[in-house]
Amino acid sequence: MPLREVFESQPERRYIMFGGKGGLGKTTLSATCAFWLASQGKKVLLFSVDPQASLSDIFQRDIFGQGPVSIMQNLWAQEVDADRRIREYQDEIRKKILDMYGFERVPEEIDNYISAASAEPAMEESAIFDAVVDIIVQGDYDYYIYDLVPLGHALYYLSMAKVYDEWINKITKLREEMGRYDQVAATMRRQETHEEDNILKELQYIKSRINASSQILTDKRRTAFFFVLVPEEMIILDTRKAAELFARFDVPISGYVVNRVLPEDLGRGNIPAYLKNRIDLQQKYMAQIRASLGKDVLAYVPEMERDVAGLKMIERLAEKLF
């Protein structure tokens, strides 16, 4: 089924991801898909949390850290500033500590710990995960297109929802048990009222956000994940392994897009041996892709004669992709 028919026949799929190894054209195809959907009259947000994101480059606009920026009618793009998000995340933690425990100021040893934790990868991943949840649960757009980070990080991100969910479940259960014990103790002391459990309330809030995000990522009806690959031996092998890993996280794989396909007529005539060898190799790997992925390939995207940057080049690529 061509990529155009995938979108036309399944309009309820609103959360779109293009994934794969770095340097295969994920950002280019994400931007092209966003352009095409916006051209069809859909309200689209294309966003990235990759610190090395290139949405600014491809749209030739400075959009980093500025929130959703209007690119054209119906299309907005956003690059999340992870460092700023971490600072905001730290401030939220400090505020919650003050609210929960009634301190006038955060104790120095706790504040030092919060500051030091910003250097930990877990703090960055947690802040980024929180930023993504903020974006995708808002519901302001017809389509959310997530320009994924390279494959290894993407798998880590996708696994975090499950890891967080299990961790929060354990903490929440423990907190609920402690609450029941407190109620029994209060009853024995003949106390009539109990203070609201703000910690449990916060845990339940976090859990609801994680569940909302997890349900979106693993919802076959609303989410589409497209693997991007190119006709090269190692990329084909890595894609097969990655597809198996994604299946373990219940992420619905909607199909494959083969990028940077050389024109068939390029190998005809008197051409240098080096170029002929490259073309022969690509045709060999194209045969492997057709044999192993077959009908799951939704588009073969030709190698363009120049870099895809700016709306005119994106429009040209959209005509070929859709």
Q: What is the pLDDT of residue 213?
A: 66
105-118 pLDDT, tens digit each: 888 877 877 777 66
Per-residue pLDDT of 220-259, as tens digits, reads 888 888 999 999 999 999 898 888 877 777 777 899 999 9
Cβ-contact 169, 73 below 8 angstroms: no
CA–CA distances in Å: residue 78 to residues 53, 73, 85, 86, 210: 10, 15, 13, 17, 22
* C-beta separation of 133 from 215 below 8 A: no
Q: Which of 64-68, 91-95, 305-309 has the lowest mean pLDDT?
A: 91-95
- Paired tokens of 9: 């026949």
Nearest to 54 by CA among 84, 83, 18, 26: 26
Lowest average pLDDT, out of 21-30, 84-93, 278-287, goes to 84-93
27 versus 104: which is more confidently predicted? 27
pLDDT digits (tens, 9 = 90+) for 153-198: 555 555 665 666 666 676 677 767 766 666 666 666 655 545 556 6
Is beta strand 75-79 parallel, antiparallel or unpaired with respect to 69-72?
antiparallel
Measured between its terminal Cα atoms, the distance across the chain in Å is: 11
Question: What is the pLDDT, as a whole number, of residue 158?
Answer: 59
Residue 19 contacts residue 239 (beta carbons within 8 Å)? no
Q: Is residue 107 helix, strand or coil? A: coil
Give me the amino acid identity at 48. S
Name the 3-class secondary structure at 45.
Answer: strand
Cα–Cα distance, 308 to 53 (Å, whole number): 15
Helix (H) or strand (E) holding 226: strand 223-229
Kindly state the average pLDDT of the residues 287-298. Answer: 93
Supply the Cα-derived Rg of the chain in whole angstroms: 24
> From its phi and psi, is residue 82 left (phi > 0), alpha (psi between -120 and 50) or beta?
alpha
β-pair partners for 147: 18
In sequence order, the β-bridge partners of residue 79 are: 48, 64
- Nearest to 89, CA basis, from 66, 117, 48, 51: 117
Quick check: 266 pLDDT over 90? no
Strand, coil or helix: 300: strand
User: pTM for the complete prediction?
Assistant: 0.79
Q: Which residue is listed with tokens 């649960």?
A: 137
Separation between Cα atoms, residue 114 and residue 101, nearest integer Å: 16
Burial of residue 86, with CB atoms counted within 10 A of its CB: 0-12 exposed, 13-18 middle, 19 or more buried: buried
pLDDT of amino acid 53: 65
8 A C-beta contact, residue 90 and residue 84? no
Residue 10 CB contacts under 8 Å (≥ 6 apart), including other chains: 224
